[in-house]
């Protein structure tokens, strides 16, 4: 009977995951998550706008968005996350910050590398703000042994379930195996006024990680 029970449990799990696919997106007016306007589930992070906001009631030129959920890698290896933004963005994978560029950007592009294990659900958090004129935020990744970055698809995202004791080990494991080194953008002196041109990604070396074993 055990194999049958296992198959049934797996089917229930798959059904549950399909139902929750996507990320939770919280929209705020103000660049520092000041006033919540809307919450909804989104399939990916891939949008741009000018005068028409992505959700009704949002100030398109003075807003912030926070996406949260879980990300499951299709295979084990090194993943390069890429963010294309106007203006600022911060990205955490497995509780570790992999992209940190919380400043004004005009079509900024930033990357960070992490090693992920197949099948492990990693907590994902992406914070974004737009303070001037047009807004853009796209989250891409380059899979192991692949050349080109692509937008992370909804099938790899799941909304984060409410915390329970059973989910704690996965989070702890993610923190244990992800060890990015400090990047230039994580310098504590980064409290200077926002600059639109001087800190572009061409000289923004991505954080590297120590391999887990
Ligand atoms: Ca802008």
Chain segment 153-199, per-residue pLDDT in tens: 999 999 876 666 555 555 544 444 454 444 444 444 444 444 433 34
Report the separation in Å between the CA atom of 189 and the middle of ligand 1, taken as the mean of its atom positions: 23
For the segment 4-22, the average pLDDT, to the nearest whole number, is 56
Q: Is the pTM of this model over 0.75?
A: no
* 206 band by pLDDT with thresholds 50, 70 and 90: very low
In this structure, the number of other CB atoms found within 10 A of the CB of residue 33 comes to 16
Q: Is residue 148 in some structural domain?
A: yes
Rounded to an integer, what distance in angstroms lies between the CA atom of residue 39 and that of residue 88?
20
Token pair listed for 194: 């926002």
Q: Is residue 159 in some structural domain?
A: yes
Q: Is residue 74 in some structural domain?
A: yes
Residue with tokens 């799990």: 13
Calculate the CA 195 to chain-centre distance. 23
**pLDDT (tens digit, 9 = 90+) per residue, 105-138?**
999 999 999 999 999 999 999 999 999 999 999 9
Report the separation in Å between the CA atom of 135 and the middle of ligand 1, taken as the mean of its atom positions: 5
Report the separation in Å between the CA atom of 49 and the middle of ligand 1, taken as the mean of its atom positions: 9
Residues around the ion ligand 1 (C-beta < 5 A): 86-87, 130, 132-133
Percent of the chain topping pLDDT 70: 66
For the segment 2-21, the average pLDDT, to the nearest whole number, is 54
The range of the structural domain enclosing residue 35 comes to 19-184+194-203
Q: Is residue 133 in some structural domain?
A: yes
Model pLDDT, residue 203: 41
Q: Is residue 43 in some structural domain?
A: yes
* 21 band by pLDDT with thresholds 50, 70 and 90: confident
Give yes or no for residue 207 having a pLDDT over 50: no
Q: Is residue 4 in some structural domain?
A: no
Rounded to an integer, what distance in angstroms lies between the CA atom of residue 103 and that of residue 54?
21
Q: Is residue 82 in some structural domain?
A: yes
SS3 category, 22: coil
* Contact indicator for 109, 84 with CB cutoff of 8 Å: yes
Among the listed ranges 37-41, 79-83, 125-129, 192-196, which one has the minimum average pLDDT value? Answer: 192-196
| Nearest of 123, 111, 131 to residue 64 by alpha carbon | 131
Report the separation in Å between the CA atom of 59 and the middle of ligand 1, taken as the mean of its atom positions: 12
Report the separation in Å between the CA atom of 76 and the middle of ligand 1, taken as the mean of its atom positions: 36
Q: Is residue 51 in some structural domain?
A: yes
Report the separation in Å between the CA atom of 51 and the middle of ligand 1, taken as the mean of its atom positions: 11
Report the separation in Å between the CA atom of 101 and the middle of ligand 1, taken as the mean of its atom positions: 13
Model pLDDT, residue 209: 41
The CATH number of the domain holding residue 60 is 2.60.120.1560
Report the separation in Å between the CA atom of 134 and the middle of ligand 1, taken as the mean of its atom positions: 4
Report the separation in Å between the CA atom of 22 and the middle of ligand 1, taken as the mean of its atom positions: 25
Model pLDDT, residue 165: 58
State the total domains in the chain: 1
């Amino acid at each position: 009977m055990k194999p049958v029970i296992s198959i049934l449990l797996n089917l229930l799990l798959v059904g549950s995951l399909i139902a929750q696919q996507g990320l939770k997106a919280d929209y705020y007016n103000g660049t520092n998550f000041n006033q919540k306007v809307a919450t909804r589930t989104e399939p990916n992070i891939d949008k741009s706008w000018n005068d028409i906001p992505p959700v009704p009631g949002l100030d398109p030129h003075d807003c912030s968005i926070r996406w949260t959920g879980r990300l499951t890698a299709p295979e084990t290896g090194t993943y390069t996350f890429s963010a294309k933004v106007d203006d600022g963005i911060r990205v955490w994978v497995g509780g570790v910050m992999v992209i940190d560029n919380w400043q004004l950007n005009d079509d900024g592009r930033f990357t960070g590398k992490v090693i992920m294990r197949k099948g492990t659900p990693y907590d994902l958090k992406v914070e974004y703000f737009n303070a001037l004129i047009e807004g853009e935020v796209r989250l891409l990744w380059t899979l192991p042994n692949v050349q080109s970055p692509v937008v992370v698809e909804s099938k790899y995202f799941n909304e984060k379930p409410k915390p329970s004791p059973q989910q704690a080990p996965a989070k702890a494991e993610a923190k244990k195996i992800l060890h990015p080194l400090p990047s230039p953008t994580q310098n504590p002196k980064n409290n200077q006024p926002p600059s639109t041109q001087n800190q572009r990604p061409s000289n923004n070396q991505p954080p590297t990680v120590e391999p887990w074993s």
